[in-house]
Structure 1
């Protein structure tokens, strides 16, 4: 396959830096330990927000979302997933209900919701908004937020519910979430207040060892905690002919660094659809509920009942990884550079995974975990080869170029124990 879906072999320069701030603040090794030992503050304000309002808003959302809204209460959040007719993910993001007829959706999915609404007669409205999103996550997250706010009620917040907290004179929404797989809150509020809130948290967090999270290590927490990401672990299912109208609107709305389909790696798909993924393949089967009709329901009913692939972590053999770096110090052809801790150019690096020469999965999100001292990747893999401990081979390289066969072992996903739901009163 031609890996230049958007007409470019690589993503534009500065992709990751422009989204997440500076590459490093202390250094990426130190910062990557923060969500296990202390806590970090990270900036996700680049995400797009769409406010969805109106009497028919909830019904309309149900048409295109795999999640159940049967008991969606005010103050509750969901990881909302939108799929196409074949059950492949178009977009996904966090949806919060702020009122009977008011919702906020973070991520690219708002564009799809708006496009769908324009094709219907629902009494609803979708509007762009401008919020900051700051994550504070790690064992010390609650203590830092208590210190900066002088309030202790955040400990009563249920997982995936919002609370309010006063920081630097601003009332801020605090969503208990934890994208690092640890105790964590996502702070949300008007963009004009962002810097004051950020600075106040950093100052209050000094005694607790808080770290500013730089771009080099930001996505390592997604890897360890298994949070697959658009354009990194899957290509959004918007390149089929029936999505041409939406794709034109969507790409026109995106800045250059956020275009959706740059692909590299040894997996050489014949069609762009081979890089689509279903919620089942991405490990989100639990989010799918068949108590309502939605786009892609029939396909997902069949797949959830008998999945072909499931999400796992691969642990790459260290000696084989070292050979990749060693090739740069020898004459002749060498293997493609393996950036540390992971590729920073912001495209989907998809490597084929084989057993006995047969492709059984696709490795993505390859990254080095300093905490575990291991090279890891996520991998939707055939169920028959998904048992933890199974030996597989990852092919590192480009189609038609030098490729290194790297031994790897199947492990659970998430790889790091999930502590997001820990009792905050014991933290």
Structure 2
């Protein structure tokens, strides 16, 4: 296993962008069955009945415990912690000293002085680094995802997401009791198959539901009970393909480019962070200034959770950014004819085809950064793209300049790389321009207006 640091890798490659564009690290995948039925039916289930998604394997958990655990998290998080007691969770967001996003994850407040930070490693690594190099009376226990965990050791906990209009009815049958009233992003407990199950009220696809978790050894019994209760409610197990697109309906951007690859203030972190912990950069963005790839919380929909009621890394910068945000998050609905033409180019001999568009999720790097143009000028970045069978639409989540953010605005997404990078998922191809229409984020009306209140 390589012990090369990111800082060493940047020097070896001749720059951060060269290192990331040609990284052999593939996008994160979901190490569960790709499909239990087919991904179209599985996508429909969370809209029409109820879907069960297995989250046990693809996320990393960082357990933080001790008298200074909350202070550590508060020092790095843009969120308010004024009323964040045990039994609650939040979308935790951290930025660098310039106010650019490091990453986000879900933070569970499990017990007094004990937390679980769950998600992609970007923000978890940032928190762990500051604990190890700062003066905090706290400890961590890390449970990597099933790709990175040492062979033969199972996850510490199981996680099952149950969501859809029939989720509550399913859980009431599985528990044998009415569900307790619980607010969005609050936790409660159930008893299923004689096991106590902790449950977070939320929904990855913007539908009503719960995330259930408990000790790994009890997971099979809980799963069996859910499956046994499911037929009358139209329960469908969702595999990795469908699950990878759930964020497109709820408008969560899963892996924005982390702003850690430049600046003297972050050199110590880059020297601590191994290259095995970073991701790859893909897409048509071709600026040689790495700062052009960075985003702020306001760019991708987290402005509402920034709280200036405490000191944190990046606060001063965000206070200035908040006065005049540059961009905002939108959904881009790709033109069907242009998508069909790009796919059709694969079947026309004698010409270099467009970059392969994989279904249902077309992102081919962990950090996808495609140019969004208006009148030939760069006005934003498209960051995550895939097909929503429920809408029969190819969409991407993007951040665009405020002047081009009104629904109905016509823009263009540049798909493919020029020149082609050396990433293993990149074949010889040509860039194409795909027309797109700006739509709200979330794209689905229910996710925008209703599900947090259910």
One fold, TM greater than 0.5? Answer: yes
Q: Hey, what does 1:326 align to over in structure 2?
A: 344
The C-alpha deviation readout for 1:232-279, integer Å capped at 9, x for no partner, is xx1222323543443454447x6xxxx432122212131444332221
Change (3 A) 1:9 1:416: same
**Is it true that 1:243 corresponds to 2:261 in the alignment?**
no
Q: CA separation in 2, counterparts of 1:287 and 1:4?
A: 34
Change (3 A) 1:133 1:245: farther
Q: Hey, what does 2:431 align to over in structure 1?
A: 403
Q: Hey, what does 1:60 align to over in structure 2?
A: 72
Q: Hey, what does 1:421 align to over in structure 2?
A: 452
Q: CA separation in 1, counterparts of 2:169 and 2:273?
A: 40
Q: CA separation in 1, counterparts of 2:251 and 2:68?
A: 34
Q: CA separation in 2, counterparts of 1:199 and 1:271?
A: 52
After TM superposition, the structure 1 = structure 2 runs for residues 37-76 of structure 1, keeping only pairs within 5 Å, are: 37-45=48-56, 46-76=58-88
Change (3 A) 1:80 1:58: same
Instruction: Report the Cα offset of residue 125 of structure 1.
Output: 2.3
Q: CA separation in 2, counterparts of 1:96 and 1:300?
A: 25
Contact 1:236–1:260 under 8 Å retained in 2: no
Q: Hey, what does 1:142 align to over in structure 2?
A: 168
Equivalent residue in structure 2 for 1:106, among 114, 118, 131: 118
Instruction: Report the Cα offset of residue 144 of structure 1.
Output: 1.3
Q: CA separation in 2, counterparts of 1:260 and 1:182?
A: 31
* TM-score (ref. length: structure 1): 0.90
Q: Hey, what does 1:25 align to over in structure 2?
A: 36
Q: Hey, what does 2:253 align to over in structure 1?
A: 228
Unmatched tracts of structure 1, length 5 or more:
none
Q: CA separation in 1, counterparts of 2:406 and 2:20?
A: 36
Contact 1:262–1:348 under 8 Å retained in 2: yes
Change (3 A) 1:209 1:72: same
The 3-state SS of whatever aligns with 2:333 is strand
Q: Hey, what does 2:197 align to over in structure 1?
A: 172
Moved more, 190-199 or 169-178: 190-199
After TM superposition, the structure 1 = structure 2 runs for residues 211-360 of structure 1, keeping only pairs within 5 Å, are: 211-230=236-255, 234-240=256-262, 241-247=264-270, 249-251=272-274, 259-331=277-349, 332-343=351-362, 345=364, 347-360=366-379
Cα RMSD, aligned residues only: 2.1
* TM-score (ref. length: structure 2): 0.85
Change (3 A) 1:223 1:10: farther
Change (3 A) 1:379 1:330: same
Q: Hey, what does 1:151 align to over in structure 2?
A: 177
Instruction: Report the Cα offset of residue 6 of structure 1.
Output: 4.7
Contact 2:388–2:394 under 8 Å retained in 1: yes
Contact 1:24–1:213 under 8 Å retained in 2: yes
Number of residue pairs matched by the alignment: 411
Change (3 A) 1:173 1:342: same
Equivalent residue in structure 2 for 1:85, among 92, 97, 103: 97
Change (3 A) 1:114 1:280: same
Q: CA separation in 2, counterparts of 1:387 and 1:6?
A: 33
Equivalent residue in structure 1 for 2:411, among 388, 392, 406: 392
The 3-state SS of whatever aligns with 1:246 is helix
Q: CA separation in 1, counterparts of 2:129 and 2:113?
A: 19
